[in-house]
Homo-oligomer: A and B are copies of this chain.
Amino acid sequence: MSVGIVTEQTITFDSGIRLDSGRFLAPITLVYETYGTLNAAASNAILVEHAWTGNAHLAGKLNADEPKPGWWDTIVGPGKLLDTERYFVICSNVIGSCFGSTGPTSINPKTGRRYNLSFPVVTVRDMVRAQKLLIEALGIQRLLCVMGGSMGGMQALEWATQYPDSIGSAIVLATTPRPSPQAISLNAVARWAIFNDPTWRKGEYKHNPKDGLALARGIGHITFLSDESMNAKFGRRFSAKDGQFDFFGQFEVERYLNYNGYSFVDRFDANSFLYLAKALDLYDVAWGCESMSEAFNTVTAPIQFFAFSSDWLYPSYQTEEMVTCLTDMGKTVEYHLITSAYGHDAFLLEHETFAPMVRGFLDGVSVGSL
């Protein structure tokens, strides 16, 4: 069942936060949505973290005419995996993004103009710092669970290591302790595509730099899919509209990336794309620590990890490095490698592959048996 019509909420913290960079960001506005009801003990809250281009609109519809429900509607609702008759589910847009939370498109109160590139570089840890303010404002001392995939999983890891007393458990999907140089390089060429667009004007654009942003998205899109899924979906079919010997003729996969790249321009801001790409690349669970084990020393919550066999952006061996480290330290960890052809995006597309295990894990967490 759907959660039905939902309302976007906004909260502003005038006090702001000190960022990893040393810079101070204030005020901070966060846009968020909640589903279900917080119980009297405030003990049934689950925070769901979104990925790079996600937003706070996790489930339901903002109005009856909205064509599609929220981005993870498949798992959030009455009777669904994150059962809103049981859990109070929260999703908040990260700082640096462009869906209402403070980011490069926000007005800098000191100048009265958009931040653009005067916005400070933010880290995944900074995103979680801001969320901590929200969770406190909602009257929650301790989240039952923090759950997310990709950049959402990085945020869950930050909760587990930086705010161990504030979470009861974490579920981490399709994530890495730190992106590899290959993953960084693919983000690097995406950034470069935007920098090359003369309409980007070092971030001082009136309209999104469409050619550069569409290409950047096209590059990202390749990393979210897999050799296998592209084979199944497109094979080597040539676009029916084009001749194979036309200079501008396209393969279907090429046309698909092109089309999706340009439609992305209508919904995501180029500067936010750049700031969040940077946050992803800088991410290191052991940031400021000598080692991964030092970083995991603070962890008290049980963590459930999922990796997907065809994910070549954040390959399973990277998740396994964390699982081995935590296991060796005697922490409570559960790990599932899901066989999937869907690449990095599998966590969004194939919820049925991990839902039974998540349900079992959450049940265990709820009764305190983990």
Number of chain A residues whose Cβ lies closer than 8 Å to a Cβ of chain B: 54
Q: Determine if A192 is an interface residue (Cβ-Cβ < 8 Å).
A: yes
Cα-based distance from A22 to B188 in the complex (angstroms): 40
Is B189 touching A219 in the complex (CB atoms < 8 A)?
yes
Is A257 touching B222 in the complex (CB atoms < 8 A)?
no
Q: Chain B's nearest CB lies how many Å from the CB of A263?
A: 15
Binds B, one of A41-49, A57-65, A153-161, A226-234: A226-234
**Interface of chain A residues 134 through 153 with chain B (CB within 8 A):** none
Is A180 touching B231 in the complex (CB atoms < 8 A)?
yes
Is A253 touching B185 in the complex (CB atoms < 8 A)?
yes
Cα-based distance from A181 to B238 in the complex (angstroms): 11
Is A189 touching B222 in the complex (CB atoms < 8 A)?
yes
Q: Determine if A282 is an interface residue (Cβ-Cβ < 8 Å).
A: yes
Is A215 touching B230 in the complex (CB atoms < 8 A)?
no
What would 6 A/B residue contacts be, using CB atoms closer than 8 Å?
Answer: A121-B244, A184-B251, A188-B253, A189-B189, A198-B198, A227-B315
Interface on A for B, CB 8 Å cutoff?
A: 20-23, 117, 120-121, 178-182, 184-186, 188-189, 192-193, 196-198, 211-212, 215, 218-219, 222, 225-227, 230-231, 233-236, 244-247, 250-251, 253-254, 257-258, 274, 278, 281-282, 284, 312, 315
